[in-house]
Each structure stands twice: as structure tokens, then as C-alpha cells.
Structure 1
Amino acid sequence: MTTLLDQALDRREAGDLDGALALARRAQARAAGSGGFAEALLVQGRLHLDRAELAEAERTLLHALRTSGGDTVVHLHARNALGDVHRAGGRYEEAAALFRETVALAETERGPDSVEVAEALNGLGVTGKYSGDFATAEAVYLRALAILERTLGAEHPDVAGVQHNLGGLAHARGDYAAAEGPARRAVEIRERALGPGHPDVAADRAALAPILDALDRPQEAESLLRQSLAAFEQCYGPGHPEVAVTLHNLAAIAQRRDPAEAESLYRRAIASKEDHFGPDHPDLAVSLNNLALVRNERGDDGEALELLERAIGILVPAVDSCHPTLDACRDNAERLRTARARTEMAG
């Protein structure tokens, strides 16, 4: 018999987040006072996270933790989802600490090769990638991948999720040839499992695209990004962070042929990120850096330097001191200051 939560998860898989959330709320109302109450809250929390509603996701997941009682599986999944919320909000140290605690707890409660351990390891890996701890990220991704392949099989969508993340890590390191394989594998697995129009497949395509662009295949990259943008806008609406990231990556391709188009796309991406995350989220920095380069190219080194200084101010308290985006922002700012000083001396 299909439950309301099963129906909610089916709606989520189909990309209907509004319908899924309505069903999850009905399930919560029916489960009041029963063991299914915390599980319904967990599903709602994940849906709020999907919708980039971080404050509501955190509130709901904390409620799930408080009411999970002896349901260890729900408790662990809620902890992992809460770690995702912390990371999405730029709270990397808090996220990493929670994921590490959850790995240890899941190993004790569910065993070292459990899906719950793999989920926490994957969350820790994503956090490490964003904060610049690439060595830890790679190690925990590989352990998570091995667990999931043994437990769920090599063609499971959760395996695709870790392949996606391994590709993203190699891309962040600048090893584009190594990045293409796992990123493309993620697309292939999830297309077969979920269908080509699913938002998770769109996310995989969007992650593969900048890798292909870095490998000097911009037309293929742009085609993937436009497919992803259409899917994200249909599923999430125009202001979702996935839309913002896709706009940013389209801007990076446009930057080489049409700086005016690139500037427009970068500004749309920044506005979307600010709308959802506020003005000081670390995800803003790479878009601010790239927009600065465009403004400099178009002759406005004053705004370019302001954008870079803002990006540096955002990143310094949030990431490792040797994070590549922080290094790039500092290098670009120093280059602009040097150029301006030379111009002033010559004048």
C-alpha cells in the first residue's frame, strides 16, 4: 500500500516540489503522536532544502531530531540533512563537525558499511570541497563510493551522486581530464534511473558542462547548460540557486565572445544568490570575481576592484587560506592595484 510519504517522495523524484511538500504535510498531520511523525518532518526538511528555504529546513529538521525517539535511521538522516543545510548556508565548520559526529554515530548504530555512513561521508566530502580541504574530500568520497557500490549496486542514483561530487572535486583542483569521467558517469546513471528531464539529471549535466568548457568544448558545454537551465526553471522557478549556478556557468562561456552578455548573466546569478543566501555567502565570491574581470575588460577597474575586495572579505572567514578562489581574487585584486598605480605614476 502506497503511503502519503511514498507519494511525496515520488513527487519529489518527478520534480514536483510543491506537490511533494503538500503531501508530506498531510502525512505529518496524520502521523501526529505516532512513529511516522519524525519521518514526515524529515521529508519536509529535505524538500525545504531542495527549495533553498534554509531557515525553514533547519527548523523542520531540528524538530525531526527532537521527535525521532528510538528511530535511529530517521535520526541519522535528519542529522545528515541538517549538515547539508549548514553547508548550503556557508557554515562550513559547523557542517563538517556535524558530519564527522554523524559518521561515528552511524558506524556504531548501523555498521561501518551502512548507507547512513556513506551519506555522512559524502556530506563531509562536499563540505571539504567548498572549504578547500580537498584531500579530506577525496578520501571520504572514495570511501562513500565503495560503500554505496557494495550496498546498492553501481547503477544506483546515490552512486551517481558521489560520482558527480568526485567530478566536481577534480574540476575544483583544475584536473579537468580526471573530472570528465566521473561527471559523465553521473549523468549516464541518473538518466537511466530517473529519466532525462529529472532535476538531478539537470544538476549532473550542469556540473559536466564547465568541465567540458575547460577541455575546450564550449559548444557541448553550452548545450548542456541550456538544457539544465530550462529544467531548473521549470522545476524550481527562476530564483533558485541551481538557476544561479547555471547562469554563472553560461556567463563564463559567454565571457570569451560577448562581455556584455556575460556581465548580464553574472549580475543575474549574483542577484539570485543574494536573494536566497544573503550578501555574505561564500558562493557569491566566484561570481563576484568573474564579474570583476568582465568590468575590468570593459574599462571599469574601479568597480572591478570593489567587487574583488567584497569577494575577499566574504571568503577570508569562511574558507582555508589557500583556497583557489580566494587566491584568484587576491591575485586579481593585486594586479588591478598595480595597474592603477602605474597609470597614476604615468599620469
Structure 2
Amino acid sequence: MANVPLTPERLARMQECFERALELEDSALAAYLRDLQTEDADLAMRLRGLLDAHAQTGSGFESPVSLEFPEDEGVDSWIGRTVGVYEITRRIGVGGMGAVYAAARNDDQFRKRVAIKLLRAQTVSESAVRRFRRERQILATLEHPHIAALLDGGVTGDGHPFFAMEYVEGEPLTTYCDTRALSITERLELFRQVCSAVQFAHQSLVVHRDLKPANILVNADGQVKLLDFGIASLLPSALDGAEEETLTRAGARALTPGYASPEQLLGLPIGTRSDVYSLGVVLYELLCGKRPFQSRSGDAVPARPSGAITAERLTQLSERSSDRARMRVAGDLDAIVLKALRTEPERRYGSAEELSADINNHLTGRPVSARPDSMGYRVGKFVRRRRAESVAVALTLVSIVGGSVVAIRQERAANRERVRAEAEGKRAAEVTAFLTTMLGAANPGAFGRDVKVREVLDSASISANALARQPALESEIRMIIGGTYLALGEFPLAEAQYRLAVHAQQRRGSAGGRGEALALSQLSMAKEFQGQFAAADTLLRAADTLFTRHGFVDDEQRISHLDARARILSSIGDTKGAEPIFIEALALQRRQVPANDSSIAASYTNLAVVQSDLGNNRSAETLMVAAVAAARRAYGTSHPHVAAILSPLASIQERAGLPARAESTYRETIAMRRALLGDDHPDLAWTMHNFADFLMTKERYAESVAWSRQVLAMRGKSMKDEHPLIPASMSVLGRSLDGLDSLDAGERWLRESLAIRKSVYPPGHFLIASSEGQVGAHLALRGRYASAESMLLKSEQQLVAARGDGAPIVVDARTRLVKLYQRWGKPDSVRVWQERMARSAKGS
């Protein structure tokens, strides 16, 4: 009978059958093999071969112990014996390869606890002893913080090879994580320690061969220690040719079936990717609480980890709901685990280091190599990682909402334009052809293995130069490229593409009127995202003229344009001018059929923030309550977008003089975002920062310091220094420390906040001016009035230029000047600035 090819499905099935067979008594095993023979004769033949090999060696797997190491520790003759310079004190455990004992040195030099591993005498031939000694020499070089060190080794007088290893007081990795209910993030960080140890061994040409939780202990300090490198095999390049074949063949013997790679089960030569497979099994078990094939029958690949998490598992993962746990694992972690578990070694990660790097990519919000390398995926990861930063740089209103408004509107605009392009037929085909060519260029031959979206876009923007004779097509392509640059945070590059799109539409003459208006709107947004509000306003006014002449495609496009106009006006300080435009946008939005509650929630929020800026805080709160209700109709009671609306509600309640309500809403938002997004998400950090700022204004400085420190604990994890929240939280922390009279510490944080903003933003940016004003206020506390005055006057002038005379941030700057002159004893200057504030409030 011809052998059936060993497909991934059959390898997985073979491993499952082999594990099952090892658990059966002789009579049950015979019946099991008869049934399997009837069902699949080829598989039954292969299984018998594996079982025969197992029976012949007796030492390759976790099999019953022999009389050398009796099951009853009370009659174990090894206890009390001396092995080398070590006296055995008790037995730790027994396995298929031998037994492990606790021991201590008995040569009076010093008392040191060690773990002694004794190998069975009958498994060792003369050539094996030579190999054993060479292994000991190489393994002695494995000095790594996460590897239990090999201290000594040799052969006892009666022929038992032994290793003396560092004694590790700890728990198996899975037990340690489950008993402490560690979060998924904490488990991944521990697992990366394991990968670090395995990678180090591989670089020393050592393959572990038996990676499993029992061989990965975690000590009381939370440090991983990898055990049992004493039975590892060496890669061929570590040996001379005479021993290479023997050792490679022997390497197929020491394994634990549930964690062994397919090539180990088949007795094939193994390499470092065999350990990668075993790491994948361990990672699967860390997430799901069971091994990949533990409860399945005959499947080619294991269930995705996100689908294998049960309700009973939630407590051990510190998750509140199965949906959230699955959402946390779905996508990146599913792909990472399944790539490590590929049946074919060449399709797995090339090393433990690559596996660890992909996990780190996931933890830091970057694209993982295991996921399809599509542009949409990479852009999506970038936007999720930097959403708060992009929005905060762009504008005040949407930064309060958390970015949801722009995201929703831009998605809709893109869908509308796509529908129009499809209707036009020919140009749609041309756009598709160009984009296909653009993405097809992202190949290893052109760019190298790790193709970046930025590289593809740069190439596409050059290729678009060839479209000069097709201005309508060029404009559409430029808009797509510009939008992707915008999502990547490459604002100047987005601006350049939008500007070229405008020029292309202008070459079309009257035919390009509406297209030019749309391109000007997008160019305005690129300026807005760079904080250049006056320039953005000029561009939007030009777009407004063209839209008036040529009309809008539909109400959605008109609403989007109105929102943009109102946002810009508010950003330049014309809050009164923004209000009627937001009202018009909301009225149009409410007439939409069917009603779109997500967009209505955003429109309510925009109008509410403007109302609050105008001092109408009670009506603003009413609008925000309506916004929350609309968001909950759209998304349910608990959802990230609902939290994005609750956050500005808290701010408005604070402004309305309702501190108890504000505090309750802040805490509700924090709890919701923590439950939905995890402890290290930037959106959670934004709410905690706002709450810390609220506490600071209430002079609850110690509490404010504590919340600010929680935000800054994410520094270097989920947020880099250039994230706007980092300098903002430093500012609140510094001012709160000032409130506690910790002036030295306060000044350090305020100056660091200023330094970061100067390194991130262009000169004259309003956030730099704001930081300079905060440092000036600090100097006033120290009595350095002249220096404080210089910084505060400069700050006020720059803020007026950037945000307009009536902006709240300008009011804050002038309030600092009043306080400075009050401290300094200059009543005339106090009166001058108070009168200026009064005139500004009246709009004169």
C-alpha cells in the first residue's frame, strides 16, 4: 500500500492519535489501533511505527518510571547519596529521561543549593558519553538571566550521567500566570523573557527540544528561568561531521508529545524552528488555558486562540467579559500564534527573536508580520496608535471628542467618492488599475522584505506625475494618496498631494469646479492638522465660494463642509461665528433619513462645546446628554465611541459648576475605557489626564499628582514622548506639585514638558506658547517676577496670534498675568489686564 502524503492535516491528526495512544492501557490500545486500521490504514501504520520507536528507547517521552527511580520517594536510594561534590537531600520529580533532586555541596567550601538531574544509565552508550561531555562544555557557556545555569556535570560511578543546575524556586509559567490572574499583556511580557532565553541558546547553536511550561519556571521576582537545557541537542555546525548524524537522530528522542513539533514526532532532523513551534504551543496555552489540539479531533490547524477562550477562562485572564477577551486576542495574537504553529517549518517564524519582535509590535500597536501586509491594515494600525496625537494637533473641538467625528466623516466622504467613481465607470477602472500597480510595486525586489506604507506612497506620488494629461484621474489619485499620508501623520506630504490635486482640477476649467472645492477642503484639513488655522480658514473660504457656485453632491458632503468651517472658526477664536454653522449642520443631520445616530452624536457634541465656550454651560450639558443618548442608540450602553462622548460631557459639567456630576462622569468614562480598551490605551490616558486637570483646578493636588503619574507610567509603552499627552500630563503634574509647594520637582516637569513641545512642534505653535506661560507662572511663584513677566507676555501674544483674542487658552494666559502683577504689587498693571479681559468677553 502506497503511503498517503503527509499533509498538514495528517501531521496534526498523527500527533493527536499519538498522544491518545500513550494514555491507553495495553488492551485499550490494541482496540484503538484496530479501529484506526479500519478507518485509516496508513495512519495506523505510521502510529505503530512511532509507538515501536517509543517502546524501544523507553526514554524518549514522558513514560512510566523504571526501578532506577522508584515511584515511592521513601524508598529512593538516591536520597542521601553523594554525586560529585553534592549531597542529595530530596527528590523534586521524575520524568522519562531520569529524575531531578535537590542537593547541596558537601565539600565545606560553601553551602549552595543545586538541582541534580540524573539520566538513566541504560540510555547511555560510549559515543553518547563523549557527546554528553561535549554538550556539557557548550551548555556551560549559556550564561543568560533567564536560563538556569549549568554549574557542573559528570558521570557517577555506576554509570549515571548527571547535571548540576542552578536551583530555581518557582512555579511553571502557566501556573504562575493563572494563579495570579495576570492580564494578557503581562503574560506576553513574561513570554518574551522566554523567547529571549531561547534565542540566546539558538545563537549558541543549542536547540532545547523540550519547551513546555514545566521547564519554564517563574520565580518570586517575576523572572523567568528556562530549565532542562541539559538534554538539549546541538545544531550541526556545533559538532564535527563524525558526530553530526548521530546527534541529529538522537535529537528526535527527547520530547513531550503535546508540545513537540511535527518534525520531532516524525523523527526528522530538527532546527531552531522546532523550538519556535513549541513556543507557539506554550503561548496558545498561556492565552487559552489548553493546548492547541487538546480538545479537537482531526483538524488541520488549531482553533484560533480568540475562539478557544471560554467563559471559565476569563477570571484567570483578569477580563470582565468573554467578548472583550476575544477582541483582545483576535487579529494580531491569533495570527502570531498560528504562524508559530505552522506544520511546515519554513512557514513559521525564522527565530524566537522574530516571534518576540512580532509580539512587541502587537503590544506597541504596530503592524505584525504575521498579518497580511495590506496597506489598509498598516494604515489602520498607525491611526489607532496615533489617533489622539493627530487629532490633538489638529483642533480643539475634535480633540475633546477623541477623534471619532473626523474618522466617521472621512469614511463617509471616501465611500461617497467611491460610489461616484463606480458610476463613472471608465475612470473607476483607471483608478483601480493605478492603485493595483501602486500596491503591486510593494514587492521584496523593489523595496526589500519589510515594505512600509510610506515607501509605497512615495513611489505612487512619483508615478502620479505621469497622469498630467488626465487631470481628473490625477486629482482623484492625489486625493487618495494625500488621505493616506494624512492618516499616517505625514501632514506636509499630505498637503503637497492635496495642493497638486487642486492644480489638476484647476486645469480642467469649469468642469473641475466641484472637484476643486473638494480638493481645497482636503488641503484645508492638512493645514488644520498642522495647527495653521488662518491658512486653513482662507482655503475653506475659497472652497465655500466654489461649493456655492457648483453645489454639493449631497447633504452629507454639505454637513462635512459646515463642520469643517465651524471647527476652523472656533480654532481661530471666532466661537460666535462657529455657533450658527454648527446649528445648521445639526439641523441638516437631524433631517437625514434614515437617522444616523453616530453622526448626530458628533454634531451635538460639537455644538455643545461651542455653547460651553460661549458660557452657556447648562444648555451645553443638555446637548451633551442628547449626544450620549444618540451614541448609545448607535453603539450600545458601553462602547469606545460612547466613552468618547462621555469625556467632553464631564468637561462641560465641570465648566457648568457641577463638580460632583463631572467627577462621576470622569470616573464612569475611566471605568468604561479601562474595561473596553485595557490599562495602557491612550484613550484611557486622555480621560485620566482630563480628570487630573479637573482635580488640580479643585486644588486636590495630591490626587491630581497620582492620576498624572498613572498617565506618565505609559510613557515609552503605549505612548512615546512626542505623543501630545505626555507633555500635557507633565504640565499638570508640574503645576500640581507647585500646589503642594514641591517647587523644584514642579519646575523640572514643566521645563521637560516645554522641551518636548519645542522638539515636536514648529516655532510659534500655541502648545509651545502655552507651556512657556506655565513656566512663567511657576517663576512668579518663586518670586522671579521680571523673568516671569517676559515669558508670560510672549506667551499671551503668541496665543492671541494662533487662537484668537477670545479663545479660552488666551483667557488663561491673561489670568496668569493678572496673578503675576498681584504678587508683584503692581495694581495698575492688574487693572490694565482685567479691563482687557472684560472687553474681550464682551466682544469689543
What TM-score comes out, normalization by structure 2 length? 0.32
Are residues 47 and 194 of structure 1, via their aligned partners in 2, closer, same or farther at CA, if it must alter by over 3 Å? Answer: farther
Matches of residues 275-294 of structure 1 in structure 2 within 5 Å? 275-294=801-820
The reply to whether residue 33 of structure 1 matches residue 431 of structure 2 is no
Residue equivalent to 1:51: 531
Q: Partner amino acid for 1:266?
A: L
* Contact 1:198-1:231 within 8 A present in 2 as well: no
**C-alpha deviation, 1:119, in angstroms:** 0.8
Identity %: 23
Task: Spell out the pairing of 1:219-258 with structure 2 (5 A cutoff).
Answer: 219-255=744-780, 256-258=782-784
Indicate conservation of the 8 Å contact 1:274/1:284, yes or no: yes
2:834 is equivalent to residue 308 of structure 1: yes
Quote the residue 2:506 is aligned against.
Answer: none
Flag the 1:144–1:12 CA change in 2: closer, same or farther, 3 A. Answer: closer
Number of residue pairs matched by the alignment: 311
Give the counterpart letter for 1:154 in structure 2: D
SS in 1 for 2:697: helix
Question: 1:82 is matched with which residue?
Answer: 606
Q: Kindly report which structure 2 residues correspond to 1:110-189, keeping only aligned pairs within 5 A, or say none.
A: 110-189=635-714
Which residue in 2 is equivalent to 1:271?
Answer: 797
Residue identity in the other structure for 1:48: E
Q: 1:251: Cα distance to partner? A: 0.9
Residue type matched to 1:294 in 2? Answer: L
Q: Give yes or no for contact 2:631–2:642 (8 Å, CA) kept in 1.
A: yes
Distance 2:766 2:820 in 1: 22
Q: Are the structure 2 counterparts of residues 11 and 122 from structure 1 closer, same or farther at C-alpha, using a change threshold of 3 Å?
A: closer
Deviation at 1:32, TM superposition (A): 5.2
Residues 84 and 210 of structure 1, relative CA distance in 2, 3 Å threshold: farther
Letter in 1 for 2:815: N
Contact 2:394–2:529 (CA<8 Å) still a contact in 1?
A: no
**149-158 or 229-238, which deviates more:** 229-238
Asked if 1 retains the 8 angstrom alpha-carbon contact of 2:602 and 2:627, the reply is no
Cα distance change, pair 30–150 in 1 and its aligned pair in 2 (3 A): closer
Change (3 A) 1:89 1:142: same
Counterpart CA distance in 2 for 1:309 and 1:299 is 17
Equivalent residues in 2 for 1:68-79 (5 A)? Answer: 75=599, 78-79=602-603
Write the letter of the residue equivalent to 1:283: I
| 8 A Cα contact 2:601 2:630, kept in partner | no
Identify if the C-alpha distance between structure 1 residues 127 and 111 changes in structure 2 by more than 3 Å, giving closer, same or farther. Answer: same
Cα distance in 2, alignment partners of residues 207 and 83 from structure 1:
27
Q: 1:288–1:307: 8 Å Cα contact kept in structure 2?
A: yes
More strand per residue? 2
Alpha carbons of 1:128 and 1:248: their partners in 2 closer, same or farther (altered >3 Å)?
Answer: farther
Deviation at 1:238, TM superposition (A): 3.0
Whole-angstrom CA distance in 1 between matches of 2:388 and 2:679: 22
- Residue in 2 that maps onto 1:216: 741
Contact 2:779–2:785 (8 Å) recurs in 1: yes
Query: How far apart are the structure 2 equivalents of 1:311 and 1:34?
Result: 49
| Distance change (3 Å), C-alpha of 1:189 and 1:125 | same
The reply on whether 1:199 has 2:724 as its aligned counterpart is yes
How far has the Cα of 1:110 moved from its partner?
0.9
In structure 1, the residue matched to 2:254 is none
**1:266 offset after TM fit, Å?**
1.1
AA aligned to 2:417 is: G
- Distance in structure 2 (CA, Å) of the matches to 1:59 and 1:212: 40
Bigger-Rg structure (1/2): 2
Q: Give the superposition deviation at 1:167.
A: 0.8
The answer to whether the 8 Å contact 1:64/1:75 transfers is no
Deviations 1:246-270 (A, max 9, x none): 1221011111231011111111221
Q: What letter corresponds to residue 213 of structure 1 in structure 2?
A: D
What is the DSSP-based 3-state SS (H/G/I as helix, E as strand, rest coil) of the residue aligned with 2:713? Answer: helix
Q: TM-score, normalised by structure 1?
A: 0.72
Of residues 87-96 and 283-292 in structure 1, the stretch that sits farther from structure 2 once superposed is 87-96
Amino acid at match of 2:610: H
In the TM superposition, what is the alpha-carbon distance from 1:101 to its structure 2 partner? Answer: 2.1
Q: Report if aligned partners of 1:84, 1:123 keep a CA contact under 8 Å in 2.
A: no
Q: Secondary structure at the match of 2:717?
A: helix
Cα pair 1:103 1:121 within 8 Å, conserved: yes
The structure 1 residue matched to 2:786, chosen from 260, 279, 290, is 260
Structure 1: gaps of 5 or more residues: 318-347
Per-residue CA distance 1:126-175 (angstroms, 9 max, x = gap): 23334543233212111111211111122211111111111111111111
Secondary structure of 1:113 counterpart = coil
Q: State the distance in 2 between where 1:303 and 1:74 align.
A: 49
More helix by share: 1
Cα distance, 1:297 vs. partner? 4.9
Aligned counterpart in structure 2 of residue 2 of structure 1, from 368, 375, 386: 375
Checking the alignment, whether the CA contact within 8 Å between 1:12 and 1:20 is kept in structure 2 is no
Provide the rounded CA distance (Å) in 1 between the counterparts of 2:696 and 2:758.
25
Contact preservation (8 Å) 1:206, 1:246: yes
How far apart, CA to CA, are the structure 2 residues paired with 1:249 and 1:132?
24
Does the 8 Å CA contact 1:13/1:198 hold for their aligned counterparts? no
Q: For structure 1, which segment, 79-88 or 174-183, has the greater mean C-alpha deviation from structure 2 after superposition?
A: 79-88
